[in-house]
Amino acid sequence: MNKMLALAKQRTRRGRRGGWNKRSAPLVYDNAKNKYQLECLRDSRAQGLKPPVEPWSYWAIDSVTFRLHTLRDPTELAAGLKWVCDFFVQQGYVKDDSPRELHVPKRWPSQVIMRKSRGLDITIKRMAHAPDAVAAEYSP
């Protein structure tokens, strides 16, 4: 999250073609996110992970452990999952990460100090049904 906030301070409204556009997403943010997703792709391939033939319709984050240089604010840990969830969607592991598809995690992300092996360990699982609160809210 700190990284995303720092990127927001470097905002530019130049479009991908170079012109000024007040609606364009900041390129600095986009470039950092693209770089992160390439790192995720490299790491997932190195581990032999492949997306399913059909993306999961409903899913849950089963466990998360951040391997960090120093302890972080717990709310930053939760926010730090955004880009990795976007990676799962982009690569076709899951259909979407909206409240209609993603079940609320049962456990808060944990953290350990591992200065020489920083990163994220995340386990997701396929669910057979929509999240309960959403199913009740959106049922006909």
Do both 90 and 129 map to the same domain? Answer: yes
**Distance between CA atoms of 135 and 130, rounded to whole angstroms?**
6
Please check whether residue 79 is in contact with residue 1, taking contact to mean a CB–CB distance below 8 angstroms.
Answer: yes
Do 28 and 75 belong together in one domain?
A: no
Tokens of 57: 């319709």
Same domain, residue pair 41 and 65: no
Same domain for 40 and 107:
no
Question: Is the full-model pTM beyond 0.75?
Answer: no
Phi, psi values for residue 118, rounded to 5°: -70, 150
Q: How confident is the model at residue 1 (pLDDT cuts 50, 70, 90)?
A: very low
Whether residue 59 sits in one domain with residue 41:
no
8-state DSSP, 39 = H
pLDDT in tens, 32-91: 888 889 999 999 999 999 999 999 999 999 999 999 888 888 888 888 888 899 999 999
- At 37, list the tokens: 């997703």
Residue of higher predicted confidence among 93 and 10? 93
Within this chain, do residues 43 and 69 fall inside the same structural domain, yes or no?
A: no
Co-location of 64 and 133 in the same domain? yes
pLDDT computed for residue 44 by the predictor: 92
Q: Answer with the residue of higher pLDDT: 13 or 91.
A: 91
102 and 131 both lie in a single domain? yes
62 and 105 part of one domain = yes
Query: What is the separation, in whole angstroms, between the first and last Cα of the chain?
Result: 37
Residue 45 shares a structural domain with residue 71: no
Q: Give the structural domain span for 85.
A: 55-140
60 and 81 in a single domain? The answer is: yes
- Bridge partners of residue 18, in order along the sequence: none
Where would I find the beta strands (DSSP E) of 44-98? 58-68
- Report the pLDDT value the prediction gives residue 55, as an integer from 0 to 100: 96
Q: Please report the pLDDT score of residue 73 as a whole number.
A: 84
State whether 99 and 113 are in the same domain.
Answer: yes
The secondary structure of residue 69, as a DSSP letter, is: S
